[in-house]
Structures are given as structure tokens and as C-alpha cells.
Structure 1
Amino acid sequence: MIFRRRDKPALAERLRALVWPRGGWGRGIRYVWARMTRLPDPPHRIARGIWAGVFASFTPLFGAHLGLAAVLAWVLRGNVIAALLATLVGNPLTFPLIAVASIQLGHMILGNAVDAPPTADILFVFGQAGAEFWANVRAMVTSEPTQWGRLYSFYHWYFLPYLVGGLAPGLFLATAGYLVSLPMITAFRDLRDRRRRERAELKRARPVPLPGQSQTPPV
């Protein structure tokens, strides 16, 4: 297939790229920022999209962050592409911190005297719950029995605390992202427009050579 790599990367390399992409996270962040500043929308719409993407990353809806960010951006009349790019706030480096902190805070708000589970347990439980959910959905149209008991326990001890505990930091960081990105994008675009005007003025100020006259000045 066109543009496919000839040498398929090994599994270890693909897993490493999830945690530390080629070129580092700094290069990825600069690339995402460049994409956002070049989106064909006013700065306030892009900033609203960033708000939606950051907030969606603090919800326990793993696998649906992109869809939730797009819906929130549409409701807020923000830029959907900016929202999708902003969901990169939730990545393999930040998800463990977000999950543990949100679940612990959620249990505190709900009044449950429970310590935050290890990160490995959270990933395993969410993966197992997703598999059991779709197994029960398939069982509804087949002769297999449905089993919702373990999913109820998952909802009570993991999903609900995560949902409740992620609201406050999600709202705070999403609003901070909006307040920081709006003036930065505005200033970047003003600087870019000013440079374009300066280049256009310099181009107009250059003397137009007469027919047969060399365009390069004599040495």
C-alpha cells in the first residue's frame, strides 16, 4: 500500500511509541500547537474546542473521548478539530495520574473510605468491564445468559468515583486551557498577519525593472 512503511515496526517499538513517540513529546506538542494556530476559525472558537477536548480527557469514557469532545465542541460552537487535538492531553503518560487522582477524589466526595487502587488494576478493571459489557450486549440477541453483577460493582467502585472525581480537575484545567490558549492564539495570529503585511509592503516597495533591464543590481 502507498505510504506504508516497508519495515513493519516490532511490537516492542509500537508499545514504546505509545509512551515516548519518535522525536519526543516536545516535537508532538509543537506539531499540535502549529495545527491549532492554523485552523480556519476565529481564536475564540479554537479555544472553545480546546476546552471541550481537555474536559473530555478527564472522563472515564475510554474509547469515547473523541466523540465526547466533538459533541461538546459542537454544543459550545467551538472548533471540532481543535477539540480532537486537545484530547491528546490524555495520553499514556498522563492517564495513570488522571485516573488515580480522579478515583481517589471521587471516593472522598462520595464518602467512601477507600484507598486509590494501583494504576495496573485500574487499566485491567476498565478493560475487563468493557469486554463484559459488549459480551452482555451480544447476549441480549443470543441464548447466552447476561451477567451484570460484576459490572455493577465496577460502576460503584471505579466508574462513578472516576466520573465524580474527574469533574473538578477537568473543569479547572479545561478552563485554564481556554484562558491560556485564547490570548496566545490571538497574539500568534496578529504577529503572523503583521509579518505578512510587512513582506507585502517590501514587495510593493521594490522598483519595477524596465523592459530589457536586468533585475539584479550591477556589482
Structure 2
Amino acid sequence: MFKRRRKRYVHHHFKEAVWPTIGWRRSADYMRHRVGRLPGTPYSIAAGFAWGAAISFTPFIGLHILLSAAGAWVTRSSILAGAIGTVVGNPWTFPFIWAWIYTAGVWMLGRDPLELNYAELSLGYLYDHFWAIFIPMMVGGVPSAVIIWAAFFFPLRAMVAKYQVVRRARIAAKKNRQISEGGTGAAV
């Protein structure tokens, strides 16, 4: 009864993640409402989302959701918000994130960056030079993650608190309007 008319395959989900059919603005509005409606306090939601965003600035690809859940659990914040926060790291932002944390790590370690020939860049090259790339990314990722955590937590906590107050007022006004019209809205 509630199934799609046409089954969506894996490539449809990938395409939707890279370029949403509803548009970027509507997708961002949906995400804002989704985060604002999560159960929990503004601290819990904001800290969880900040964990997800911060963990996206580490080179642990494939472990972002697990690491954000662990950080959210330790700080008693929303694990679900942490999973949503990992969306900060996506196919559009990862190249910039990786370039930033690698450059920051090389600078912090005082090393010379690898001379990368982008025409010959492959998984084999990355495998052969794993530690020369991973260690600077890890060193550059830690302070970046701390900064990103704070950059997301404080504005998001204020936004969620305001969203929840406005939403509660709207629900109370609707309930009062239903009562004043003489019914609770339930069918007899």
C-alpha cells in the first residue's frame, strides 16, 4: 500500500546524495527541520550534530558514524544527531577537507608535502604511501575537528533552542484554537 510505484535502486540513492532532485535549498530546509524536531535538549542535539561534523574532519573513512556515536555517547548527547552531523563530510566536501587536514598536518609536523602527480594518482599510490599521507591527515584532523565542533555546537544550540520554543508556541496556539472552536479535533 505504501510502496513506491517504481523501485529505487542503489544508483538512485547515490545520485540523490550527490545531487538532490528536490534541490539544494529545499534539501537544506528539510535538514534544518529534521534536526530541530529531534527529541532532546538543545545541548543534546547540538553536541551530537557537532560530533558528527567534527568526526568528518578525520581521515577515518567508513568509521565516521561509529566514532560520532561514541563521542555523542560519552558526552550524553544525541547519537541520532551525530549520525546526521556526519553529512558535513560528503562527496562534495571531502576533497576540500582532505586537502585542508593534510596541509595542516604537514605544516604542524614540519614536513615537506609529497609531490603528488595528480595524473598518476591512484589507489595503489595511496596504498604505497599510506603512512606518509595518513599521519599528517590525522595530525591536521584533530585540531580541525576541535574547531569544527565548536563552530557547529554554539550556533546550532541557539538555533535549536529558538526552533523548539517557536514550535511549542505554534502547537499550543493550534491546540487553543481547536479548544475555542468547540472540539478537540477527534471524531465522535
Is TM (by shorter chain) over 0.5? Answer: yes
Give the counterpart letter for 1:65 in structure 2.
Answer: H
Following TM superposition, by how much is the alpha carbon of 1:125 offset from its aligned partner in structure 2, in angstroms? 5.8
CA contact (8 A) 1:104 1:115 kept: no
1:119-156 CA-partner distances (Å, limit 9, x unpaired): 78777369x64xxxxxxxxxxxxxxxxxxxx4xx411x
Structure 1 CA distance for aligned equivalents of residues 41 and 29 of structure 2: 20
Q: 1:116 to 1:182 in 2, by over 3 A?
A: farther
Structure 1 CA distance for aligned equivalents of residues 175 and 120 of structure 2: 59
Structure 2 CA distance for aligned equivalents of residues 108 and 123 of structure 1: 24
Q: 1:200 to 1:122 in 2, by over 3 A?
A: farther
1:137-180 CA-partner distances (Å, limit 9, x unpaired): xxxxxxxxxxxxx4xx411x111111111222221122111001
**What pairs with 1:1-219 in structure 2 (closer than 5 Å)?**
3=3, 6=6, 16-114=15-113, 117=116, 124=123, 129=127, 150=128, 153-155=129-131, 157-206=132-181
Q: 1:194 to 1:53 in 2, by over 3 A?
A: same
Structure 2 CA distance for aligned equivalents of residues 120 and 78 of structure 1: 44
Q: How many residues align?
A: 182
Structure 2: unaligned runs, 5 residues or longer:
184-188
Structure 1 CA distance for aligned equivalents of residues 42 and 68 of structure 2: 18
**What does residue 146 of structure 1 align with?**
none
Per the normalisation by structure 2, the TM-score is 0.83
Following TM superposition, by how much is the alpha carbon of 1:40 offset from its aligned partner in structure 2, in angstroms? 1.5
Following TM superposition, by how much is the alpha carbon of 1:10 offset from its aligned partner in structure 2, in angstroms? 9.2
Structure 2 CA distance for aligned equivalents of residues 199 and 106 of structure 1: 54
Structure 2 CA distance for aligned equivalents of residues 204 and 10 of structure 1: 47
CA contact (8 A) 1:48 1:78 kept: yes
Superposition CA RMSD, Å: 2.9
1:46-86 CA-partner distances (Å, limit 9, x unpaired): 11101110111011000110110111100111100000000
Per the normalisation by structure 1, the TM-score is 0.72
Give the counterpart letter for 1:174 in structure 2.
Answer: W
Structure 1: unaligned runs, 5 residues or longer:
130-149, 209-219
Following TM superposition, by how much is the alpha carbon of 1:15 offset from its aligned partner in structure 2, in angstroms? 5.6
Find the structure with the greater CA-based Rg.
Answer: 1
Give the counterpart letter for 1:183 in structure 2.
Answer: A
